[in-house]
């Protein structure tokens, strides 16, 4: 499984940039400083900065999962998927993603804007720092992908071709396994503290919950609605200028494929839930907790109003306003359900989140319990809840129950 292409390292990156059209003019390679910062699980990431303060970021995929090694082979084509996801957003919400500089399909290298001075949103949330307006921007990001990559704005025949071209089965399988399957069965990838066992065993024995998780997984596997990011958690969002109208940029769309629009929103909502649980057990200031509580509705309202703003531009005007209402109602239910799935997996499954994981033991148990209970109710009752406001209420009730 050794790669059959050139694997970059900090020493070879300047020469690589210098010989690559589209990249060599972005930075001065004679004064380039390169560091490999791939803290993620999958790829090499080279952050490059030249003497003039210009930067570039190269992301190279390996033919295996970096975290695990050659024992877990994974298609390097994922960087092609990432380029596809990035370009789709660059075309319509350029302010919300890094600039795109090029894709080298032979060596699986994606070149993009270096986000110097930006911070990962999850870490900022963990620190209790507010970035007002980021939720609304993410709602706009999801709406732009939903509208501009679907048959709402592209010819039906071309959409089918794009869907076929964008299948991403290996990456989708990771989501299918880690998000929808493993948390609900006893497998080695799972881990959790003993105090959570009764809650988790209760979930596994709950036939209704298992059925609903299955239905959400089935939709993830079969619904080709729009090109979605596929992994839109708060660690895939970079932020800055929190004190001054927060800015954000969405990164890492390598899981992108044609899937259900509510999955991206659900990923955000599941991670908002984790952030809220952390803030609750750490007893963060009321202002901060309220800001966090409002992010879900803010994201949704922005998504909805952006969809309604774009709707008059739809390619085929025979789609009615009443259809848009029904569609939005369905996406809201999907969002709540996927939010629950994304939250549960972060407590039980292989890929944890620092929001909850790095809390002191007692707080960890409380926050995790809060997430599991809220998430399971979201999954089971998403049709009855129907709105993100009511889903938020569930969290409030569970929080009161857990904190006593």
Query: Rule CB under 8 A: which residues touch a second copy?
Result: 151, 156-157, 159-161, 163-165, 167, 169-170, 172-173, 176, 181, 184-185, 207-208, 210-212, 214-215, 218, 221-225, 318-323, 325-327, 330
Tokens of 157: 């025949």
Q: Rounded to the nearest whole angstrom, what is the least distance from the CB of residue 269 to a second copy in the complex?
A: 22
Calculate ∠ Cα 160-165-170, nearest 5°: 120
Q: Rounded to the nearest whole angstrom, what is the least distance from the CB of residue 355 to a second copy in the complex?
A: 27
CA atoms within 13 Å, Cβ hemisphere of 351:
17
Tokens of 114: 């270096």
Q: Rounded to the nearest whole angstrom, what is the least distance from the CB of residue 400 to a second copy in the complex?
A: 30
Q: Rounded to the nearest whole angstrom, what is the least distance from the CB of residue 94 to a second copy in the complex?
A: 27
Residue with Cβ nearer a second copy (201 or 321) = 321
Residue with Cβ nearer a second copy (224 or 339) = 224
Q: Rounded to the nearest whole angstrom, what is the least distance from the CB of residue 348 to a second copy in the complex?
A: 14
The rounded radius of gyration (Å) of the Cα atoms in the chain is 21
Are residues 262 and 220 in contact, defined by beta-carbon separation less than 8 angstroms? Answer: no
Can you tell me the distance from the alpha carbon of 6 to that of 129, in angstroms, rounded to the nearest whole number? 41
Can you tell me the distance from the alpha carbon of 102 to that of 21, in angstroms, rounded to the nearest whole number? 9
Residue with Cβ nearer a second copy (364 or 380) = 380
DSSP per-residue letters across 379-394:
HHTHHHH-SHHHHHHH
Tokens of 258: 């044609």
Residue with Cβ nearer a second copy (12 or 189) = 189
Can you tell me the distance from the alpha carbon of 365 to that of 354, in angstroms, rounded to the nearest whole number? 14
Residue with Cβ nearer a second copy (25 or 321) = 321
Residue with Cβ nearer a second copy (33 or 165) = 165
Can you tell me the distance from the alpha carbon of 338 to that of 335, in angstroms, rounded to the nearest whole number? 5
* Secondary structure class of 237 (helix, strand, coil): strand
Q: Rounded to the nearest whole angstrom, what is the least distance from the CB of residue 176 to a second copy in the complex?
A: 7
Residue with Cβ nearer a second copy (120 or 203) = 203
Q: Rounded to the nearest whole angstrom, what is the least distance from the CB of residue 385 to a second copy in the complex?
A: 16
């Amino acid at each position: 499984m050794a790669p059959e292409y050139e694997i970059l390292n900090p020493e070879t990156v300047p020469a690589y940039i210098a010989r690559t059209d589209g990249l060599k003019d972005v930075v001065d390679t004679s004064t380039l400083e390169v560091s490999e910062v791939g803290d993620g699980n999958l790829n090499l990431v080279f952050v490059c900065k030249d003497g003039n303060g210009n930067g570039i970021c190269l992301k190279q995929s390996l033919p295996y999962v970096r975290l695990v090694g050659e024992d877990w082979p994974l298609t390097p084509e994922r960087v092609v998927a990432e380029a596809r996801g990035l370009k789709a957003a660059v075309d319509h919400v350029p302010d919300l993603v890094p600039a795109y500089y090029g894709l080298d399909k032979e060596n699986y290298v994606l070149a993009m804007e270096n986000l110097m001075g930006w911070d990962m949103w999850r870490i900022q949330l963990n620190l209790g720092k507010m970035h007002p307006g980021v939720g609304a921007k993410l709602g706009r990001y999801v709406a732009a992908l939903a509208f501009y990559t679907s048959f709402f704005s592209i010819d039906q025949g071309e959409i089918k071709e794009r869907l076929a071209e964008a299948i991403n089965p290996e990456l989708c399988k990771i989501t299918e396994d880690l998000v929808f399957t493993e948390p609900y069965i006893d497998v080695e990838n799972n881990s959790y503290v003993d105090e959570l066992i009764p809650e988790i065993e209760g979930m596994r024995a709950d036939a209704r919950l298992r059925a609903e998780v299955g239905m959400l997984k089935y939709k993830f596997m079969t619904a080709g609605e729009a090109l979605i990011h596929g992994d839109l958690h708060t660690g895939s969002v970079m932020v800055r200028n929190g004190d001054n109208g927060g800015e954000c940029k969405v990164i890492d769309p390598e899981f992108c494929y044609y899937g259900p629009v509510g999955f991206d929103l659900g990923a955000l909502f599941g991670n908002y839930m984790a952030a809220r649980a952390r803030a609750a057990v750490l007893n963060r200031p009321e202002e901060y907790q309220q800001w966090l509580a409002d992010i879900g509705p803010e994201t949704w309202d922005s998504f909805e109003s952006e969809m309604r703003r774009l709707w008059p531009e739809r390619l085929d005007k025979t789609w009615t306003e009443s259809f848009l209402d029904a569609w939005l109602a369905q996406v809201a239910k999907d969002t709540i359900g996927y939010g629950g799935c994304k939250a549960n997996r972060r407590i039980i499954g292989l890929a944890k989140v620092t929001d909850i994981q790095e809390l002191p033991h007692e707080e960890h148990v409380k926050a995790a319990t809060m997430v599991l209970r809220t998430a399971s109710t979201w999954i089971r009752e998403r049709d009855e809840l129907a709105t993100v406001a009511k889903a938020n209420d569930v969290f409030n009730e569970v929080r009161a129950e857990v904190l006593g």
